Amino acid sequence: MLDWWLPENVSTYGQEIDWLFHLIYYITGVTFVLVFVTMLVFLVMYRDRPGRRARYTHGNTTLEIVWTVVPALILVILTILSVPAWSKIKMTMPETDFVVQVTAKQFNWQVTYPGPDGQFGTADDKTLLDEMHVPVNKVVRVILKSQDVIHSFFVPQFRMKQDAVPGREIRQWFEVVKPGRYEWPCAELCGFGHSGMRGWIYVHTPDEYGKWAAQNLTADAAPAAAEPKPEGTKAETTKAEPKKEGKAKK
Ligand SMILES: [Cu+2]
């Protein structure tokens, strides 16, 4: 019923997120209406009238217990209902041979493919800037890192969001069921260029993906986007990144 205002879901686990989202939305919506109706009724009932005097009341203990216990119970129930989705999306890692490394930095997504040898950190790695290409109906594992501050990997249509935290390697996964081009913004305020930090994820049919990979990931293919590969080292000189003092540490 609320589907019309969320972005289209194209991931295998999106429905589980949406169902919880809608449930929470209904609960908060009903609460909102009840609270406002009560407030309006009380505003009229207890308005100032000639001859009325304010009187002291110390409250109602039963009522206070009820309105503390009921919300607490709702939260506990929501937690329990969220467990299946959480454990499926965040706690399990489906088998796959498709792995990419994403290193966030102010203000780009650096996407590294292992190249023909299937190993990261070797000479044939290919790094793209702000774009990722993946095949449809395939589990994609992302090894998420950050080079500087906290960023957040967010693809609304995939129902996937995960912080990238400096010093940590966080593994995430997604599987998309519909080819297309999906916006990939950073969802964590990460500095003055945050609003411009976004990439695109291209989801191809297997054929198209094969073609793209042959043109861009093979040994002789020129790296599709700049950015030399020894990441994390001083090598990132090509980008005339603003001289904010915050970066001085590197
Ligand atoms: Cu960011």
State in Å: Cα 11 to ligand 1 middle.
Answer: 23
Q: Calculate mean pLDDT across residues 140-163.
A: 95
pLDDT value for 240: 42
CB burial of 221-231 (b: ≥16 within 10 Å; e: otherwise) equals eeebeebebeb
Q: Calculate mean pLDDT across residues 92-97.
A: 92
**Over 70: is that where the pLDDT of 29 sits?**
yes
State in Å: Cα 104 to ligand 1 middle.
Answer: 7
**Over 70: is that where the pLDDT of 33 sits?**
yes
pLDDT value for 220: 65
Specify the 3-state DSSP secondary structure of 26: helix
Q: Calculate mean pLDDT across residues 114-139.
A: 89
Q: Calculate mean pLDDT across residues 217-224.
A: 63
**Over 60: is that where the pLDDT of 27 sits?**
yes
Q: Which of 128, 134, 126 is nearest to 96 (CA)?
A: 134
Residues around ligand 1, an ion, CB closer than 5 A: 151, 186, 190, 197
State in Å: Cα 146 to ligand 1 middle.
Answer: 9
How many percent of the chain have pLDDT more than 70? 86
Cβ-based neighbour number of residue 113 at 10 Å: 22
**Over 80: is that where the pLDDT of 215 sits?**
yes
Q: Which residue has the tokens 């999906």?
A: 182
**Over 70: is that where the pLDDT of 81 sits?**
yes
pLDDT value for 155: 96
Q: Calculate mean pLDDT across residues 57-84.
A: 94
State in Å: Cα 188 to ligand 1 middle.
Answer: 6
Residue 221: pLDDT band by 50, 70, 90 thresholds?
Answer: low
**Over 90: is that where the pLDDT of 236 sits?**
no
**Over 80: is that where the pLDDT of 235 sits?**
no
3-state helix, strand, coil in the chain (%, to 5): 35, 25, 40
**Over 70: is that where the pLDDT of 245 sits?**
no
